[in-house]
Amino acid sequence: MIHSYRKEGDNFSGRSALRPAYQNWTYKTKLYRLDAIAHERNSLKVPVITTPDGPTDDEKKAAKDIAKNLKSTEGAHVVLPGEKWKFDFAGDGSQNEGIMKSISHHNREISKALLAQFIELGAEGKGGSYALSEDHSDLFKLGLTAIANQVARVTNEFLIRELVDLNFDMQDGQEYPTLEFDKIGDIDIQKIIDGITALSDKHIVTPDNSIEDKMRELLDLPKAIYGEDGKVE
């Protein structure tokens, strides 16, 4: 049995859900490397030593040793050989902030490719309403439900039926067992209660034992025990 996601023709490998995010992931990986290089080159200022005019070989060597051996520690200091010597740092110690903004952009695009853009709400100091987050997360849950439906359909059609036929003599009218899955995501019990109440008040739905059993299941309540008259004892 083969589960192929977005199968195209006879290509049983299918097409990964991450495929639309590949381009953004590639750029993001390269940008991280550039950011590391930018930090290495620019985050630390470069020591610069100015020697007197016409320095001797010993003065050149002394300048190189001072700059080379300089360490950023609690006791770090520089002693210059003479008054005409000068010591300074080149660069402002900053890195390319534009790189991180671009990385954030690609992070958002990767999330959107998977319908998971709601996880970016509130990032970078930008807020988002609860309703907006709920709407976006519903899209993500719909995507997961579609995948779960596909897994269940393939399993029921190509695995369960074959196993049952190999092990049991199915009679006409008998139903095959099926693989099922629960609703993905949190269930808003209050919305369900309000909906059933409204439908019941308008006589569109009549509360019966099946509805009671389902509500007890959703609320994680004990199963109802029915008497001979069909009422809960």
The answer to the question of residue 210 being in a domain is: yes
**What pLDDT is recorded for position 123?**
65
What SS3 class is residue 210?
Answer: helix
Q: What is the DSSP string of 110-175?
A: HHHHTT-GGGGTTGGG----HHHHHHHHHHHHHHHHHHHHHHHHHHIIIIIHHHHHHHS-PPTTPP
36 vs 166: CA distance, rounded Å = 60
The answer to the question of residue 126 being in a domain is: yes
What SS3 class is residue 31?
Answer: helix
Question: In this structure, are 130 and 178 located in the same domain?
Answer: yes
Question: In this structure, are 163 and 200 located in the same domain?
Answer: no
Place 89 in a pLDDT band, splitting at 50, 70 and 90: confident
The answer to the question of residue 112 being in a domain is: no
The answer to the question of residue 16 being in a domain is: no
Question: In this structure, are 128 and 166 located in the same domain?
Answer: yes
Rounded mean pLDDT, 178-206 = 84
CA 46 to chain centre: 39
Phi/psi of residue 88, each to 5°? -155, 175
pLDDT score of 173 more than 90 = no
Residue 20 contacts residue 113 (beta carbons within 8 Å)? yes
Q: What is the CA radius of gyration of the chain?
A: 34
Question: In this structure, are 176 and 126 located in the same domain?
Answer: yes
Question: In this structure, are 82 and 133 located in the same domain?
Answer: no
Rounded mean pLDDT, 36-41 = 74
pLDDT score of 46 more than 80 = no
What SS3 class is residue 11?
Answer: strand
Question: In this structure, are 135 and 178 located in the same domain?
Answer: yes
Question: In this structure, are 173 and 124 located in the same domain?
Answer: yes
Number of domains in the chain: 3
The answer to the question of residue 158 being in a domain is: yes
Question: In this structure, are 147 and 175 located in the same domain?
Answer: yes
The answer to the question of residue 218 being in a domain is: yes
Closest C-alpha to 99, from 23, 25, 39:
39
133 vs 122: CA distance, rounded Å = 10
Question: In this structure, are 177 and 191 located in the same domain?
Answer: no
132 vs 101: CA distance, rounded Å = 23
**What integer best gives the mean pLDDT of the chain?**
81
**What pLDDT is recorded for position 160?**
92
Question: In this structure, are 191 and 156 located in the same domain?
Answer: no
pLDDT score of 26 more than 90 = yes
pLDDT score of 3 more than 70 = yes
**What pLDDT is recorded for position 152?**
92
pTM value is 0.50
Rounded mean pLDDT, 72-94 = 75
Question: In this structure, are 196 and 224 located in the same domain?
Answer: yes
Domain around 175: 120-183
Helix axes 209-218, 189-201, angle to 10 degrees: 160
Rounded mean pLDDT, 216-228 = 82
Rounded mean pLDDT, 92-102 = 68
Question: In this structure, are 168 and 207 located in the same domain?
Answer: no
The answer to the question of residue 175 being in a domain is: yes
